[in-house]
Structure 1
Amino acid sequence: MLEDALSYPTKGDSGIVRLLIGGVLVFFSWLLVPVFLVSGYLVRAAAAVSRGDEDPPALDDWGGLLVDGVKATVIAVAYSLVPAVIFGGMLVVVVGGGSAGGNAGGLLAGVGLLGMLLALPAVLVVTYLLPAALINFAREESLGAAFAVSTLKPVLLSRQYIVATVIVFGVSVVGGAVLSFLSAFLVGIVIAPFYYFWLGLASQFMFGRAFAEVANTRESATPAAAPVADD
C-alpha cells in the first residue's frame, strides 16, 4: 500500500500539473478559500479511492470543491467540540485557581492542569476518527454519513485502518524531518506547500484504500436477497 500511496498524487493525466496547482493553493491557504478548495479535493480523492478508482479525480469543479471543503470543515469542527470544551473548561479552572490564590486556589489550578492534559487523548481520538468520517461523508454526499456509527465502527476497528494510520504517521514524521532540514537551506520553504499537498493526497489514498477493503468485505459478506417466486 505504501508504494501505491507514494505514487498516487502524480498518477493520471496532468499529474505534475495537479501537484503544482495543489501546492499553489496550499501556499495561498492564508486566504482561507484555498483551504476549503484543498479540503474538498482531498475528501473527494479519498472517496474515489474507496470506490476503487486508481487515479486521483480531476482538479476542477471549483464551486463543488468549495462547498465540499466547507462541509468537511463543519464536520471537523463538530468532531473537535469535545476536546475543545474539555480544554476550555479546564483552562477556566486553571485561571480561576490562579486568581483565588492560597492552598485551595493551588489545588484548583492543579486539577485544571491535569484536566487539560486529559484533553490530549481526546484530540488523538478525533484525529483518528476524522479521516474515516470524512470519507463516508464524501461517499454518501451527506453530512449525516460522517456520524454514521454503524458504518464507521468496523472501519475504525479494522487492521487495515490502523495500519494506514501508522503509515501516515510514519511518513509524516520522516517527511517533516527532511523538510525541516531542507528549510535551513531555504529549499524546504519553497517545496513545503507542494510537499503538504502531496502528503495529503498520499494519506487520503491510504485511508481510502483501508475504507474500501473493509466496505468490500462487508458487502461480500451480506447475503443477497432471495428471489421472489412467481405464483
Structure 2
Amino acid sequence: MDIDQNIVNSLEYARSSWGKVATLGGILFVPFLILFVFIFIGAISNNGFVLGLLIFIGILIMLIAFFLANGYFFRVIKSTLAGLDEIPDFDDWGELLVGGLKVLVVELIYSIIFGILASIPIFIIFLVLGLIGSFLGIAGSIADASISPAVLAGSGVFIWVMYLGIFLTYLIMIAVGLLYYIVSFIGISNMAYQDNMGSAFAISEIRERISSIRWGKAIIWVLATYFVTLIAVLVSYILGLLLVGIIVVPIIIMPFLIIFLARSTGLLYLNK
C-alpha cells in the first residue's frame, strides 16, 4: 500500500464510526470538566486542604483517562495488525489501562535514548563554538580589536560559524526526530504484533521491518501524517476562535487524529 492509500484508508477508517470517535473524545474531555468542577468546589470551600485534595483527585482522573486513550491507540494498532477493518469497541478497561501504560513506557524510554543521541553531536558543536569564541577573545585581548583587521575578520567568521552551528543543530534535531518517530511507532507496532513488551525494543526486528518498508517510504509517511496533524491543528485553532472548538476539538478532532494515526501506523507496519 502506497502512502497516499495508507492516509486515505486511515482517514476513512477513523470516520467510519463517529460514535466511537466521540466516545474516545469523552474519555479525553470529561476529566477536564471534572477537574474544573473540583477546582471550583475547592475554591468556594475556602479550605486549602480540600482544594489540594480535589485537584489531586482530578489530576489522577486525567492520568487514568490519558492511559485509556493511549491504550485505545494501542488497541487500534492491534486490531489493524489482526486484519480487522472495524474500529474496536470500548471494553476490557483494564486491558486499555495496561496497554496505555506500556505505550507510555516505550515512548519515554525511546525519548531518553534519542534525546541522548541528539545531545551528543549538539554538545560537540557548541563545544567547538565555545573554543572558537575563546580563541577570538584571547586574540582580541592581545591585539587592539578596534584596529586589527585580523581580529575583525575572525569575529565575522565566528558569526557565520555560529549560524552554521545553529543550522546543524536544527538538522540534527530534525533527523533524530524522524528516527524517533519511525523507530518508536514501529517498536510499538512490533510490541502489538508480538504481544510482548520486549519486542518494542527488539532493535534487529525493528530494523528489519523498517528495511522491508524502506526508509524513504517511512520518512514520507512521517511527513504525510505530520501534514494531516498540521491541518487538524489549524482547524482546531480556527474553531477555537469561534468558541465552538472548546467542544469540537477534544470530542471530535483529537480522538479522530488518535484513531487515524493508530490505523496508519498499523498499515505501515504491515507494509500493505
User: Normalised by the shorter chain, which TM-score bucket?
Assistant: 0.7 to 0.9
Q: CA deviation at 1:123?
A: 3.2
Contact 2:182 2:218 in 1 (8 A): no
1:204 and 2:262 equivalent?
yes
Structure 2-normalised TM-score? Answer: 0.63
**1:28-78 Cα shifts (integer Å, max 9, x gaps):** 376111111111111111121122111121111111110111111111111
Residue in 2 that maps onto 1:173: 230
Q: Compared with structure 1, are the counterparts of its residues 54 and 146 closer, same or farther at alpha carbon in structure 2 (3 Å cutoff)? A: same
Across the aligned residues of Structure 1 and Structure 2, the Cα RMSD in angstroms comes to 3.3
**1:113-159 Cα shifts (integer Å, max 9, x gaps):** 89975455323321222111111111222111111223322432325
Residue in 2 that maps onto 1:147: 201
Specify every segment of 5 or more residues in structure 1 that has no aligned partner in the other structure, as ranges: 215-231
Q: 2:177 aligns with which of 123, 131, 136?
A: 123
Residue in 2 that maps onto 1:218: none
Residue in 2 that maps onto 1:135: 189
**1:183-227 Cα shifts (integer Å, max 9, x gaps):** 11112232111211111111111121121236xxxxxxxxxxxxx
Identity of matched residues, %: 24
Cα distance in 2 for residues equivalent to 1:124 and 1:163: 10
Cα distance in 2 for residues equivalent to 1:123 and 1:162: 11
Q: Compared with structure 1, are the counterparts of its residues 213 and 116 closer, same or farther at alpha carbon in structure 2 (3 Å cutoff)? A: closer
Contact 2:14 2:87 in 1 (8 A): yes
Structure 1-normalised TM-score? Answer: 0.73
Q: 2:13 aligns with which of 8, 11, 18?
A: 8
Counterpart residue type for residue 179 of structure 1: S
Specify every segment of 5 or more residues in structure 2 that has no aligned partner in the other structure, as ranges: 33-58, 138-157
Counterpart residue type for residue 201 of structure 2: F
Q: Compared with structure 1, are the counterparts of its residues 130 and 83 closer, same or farther at alpha carbon in structure 2 (3 Å cutoff)? A: closer
Q: Compared with structure 1, are the counterparts of its residues 115 and 162 closer, same or farther at alpha carbon in structure 2 (3 Å cutoff)? A: closer
Contact 2:181 2:222 in 1 (8 A): no
Cα distance in 1 for residues equivalent to 2:169 and 2:9: 39
Cα distance in 1 for residues equivalent to 2:179 and 2:12: 28
Contact 1:51 1:212 in 2 (8 A): no
Cα distance in 1 for residues equivalent to 2:222 and 2:117: 25
Q: Secondary structure at the match of 1:32?
A: helix
Which one has a bigger Cα radius of gyration?
2
Cα distance in 1 for residues equivalent to 2:110 and 2:166: 23
Once the two structures are superposed, the pairs formed by residues 26-45 of structure 1 within 5 Å of their partners are 26-27=28-29, 28=31, 31-45=62-76
Count, aligned residues: 206
